[in-house]
Every structure is written in structure tokens, then in C-alpha cells.
Amino acid sequence: MRIRLDEELYKLNEELIEMGSLVKERISRAIRALIEQDVDEAKKIMAADGDVDDMEKEIERSCLRVILQQQPVARDLRFVSAILKIITDLERIGDHASDISEFTVYLAGKPFIKKLEHIPQMAELTMIMLTESIEAFVTRDLALAKKVIADDDAVDDLFVLIKNELINLINESAGNGDQALDLMMITKYLERIGDHATNVAEWVVFSITGTHKDSQIM
């Protein structure tokens, strides 16, 4: 029984890593398409959004099968429960990559009102957070999970910086308004991706300690 459970948990680990890699790739491609104003690539990202949804459903089914057939307890149950929460955040990250791609299509063919320097920085930070949160889960690294949670402040700081830059551009010229608002939404999606990566890290903490946001659950 224990051997079978360990095999199932290992498989879940591998599936989670695969889903994390997929959504990270989507973020990277979405930002690259934005910078290069690559409409075809943006449309491909939007069309493939169902792949992430399908992966979420498959992992969810695997988790429920483990709970019903193997009846895990204590640490193992926390592990499976955390995966069920984490895949929800990963699915939302995938959605935001598609959301960013939609704006890429809207913005196509028009020069940007500002150099996109901080948006790629913000995206890179969120991808690092996502990578490290998944790594923390796989390696059960509590310190790394807490680092990810702390790193969200840097993403928030960039969000405020970009927001203020865009507000200044609107104040300089009302003609900048439409694109500034579109870029603001893209920035907001990146900020939300950072929040979801933080959520993943918080569920990593739970899987290790049984505590979620200072509340003892299991």
C-alpha cells in the first residue's frame, strides 16, 4: 500500500512540475509577443489556453483518485490537498497569459507610447517566483517558499512604478490614454500572476507545516 501511494505521489509531483513549466512558458511567450507586437504568436497562446485547463482537470482527477483509493493521512494528505489548491492558481496564471495576449492583439500596429522596460522586468520576477515556488514544493524547501512570499513586494513595487509612469503619460497627452490603460491592464495581470505565485508558495508552507497564513489547518 505504501509503495503504491509513493508512486502516485511521485506521479503527482511530476504532473505539477509539467503544469508549472507550461504556464511559465506561456508567460514568457506572451510578454515576448507583446514586445515584438507578434499578433500570430499572441493568437496561438490564446488558442492553446485549453491545454492548461485540461492539465488542471487531469491533475485534479489524479488527486481525487489518490484520496479515495489510497486514503492518505497527515503529511501525505497535506501534500495532495496542497496540489489541488496549487493547480487552481496555475490555471489562473495560464488565463492571465491569454489575457495579456488579447491586449497584444489590440495594440498591434501602433507604436508604444513608452519603452517597455519595466513590464518585462516585472514578468521576469513573476516567472522566477513561479519557478521557485514549484521548486520549493518539490524539494519541501520552507525557506525558499518564504522567500517567494517576500519577493512579491518587488513585483508590487514595479506595479506602482509602471502605474505612475502611465499616469504621467496620460497627463502629458490625452492621446496616450487608450494605450496607457491597456498597458495598465497588462501590468495588473502581471501583478496578479505574482499574487498567484505567492499563493502557491503559501500552499507549499501548508504542505510542510500544516499552517496556512498563520492558521493551523492540518
CATH of the domain at 171: 1.20.58.220
With a cut of 50, which residues of the chain have pLDDT below it? none
pLDDT at 216: 64
Decide if 63 contacts 84 (C-beta within 8 A): yes
Cell of 153: 513586494
pLDDT number for residue 212: 86
Tell me the per-residue pLDDT of 99-146, one tens digit each, with 9 for 90 and over.
Answer: 999 999 999 988 999 989 999 999 999 999 999 999 999 999 999 999
pTM: 0.94
Q: Containing domain of residue 68, as a range?
A: 2-216
Indicate the number of domains in the chain: 1
pLDDT number for residue 1:
62
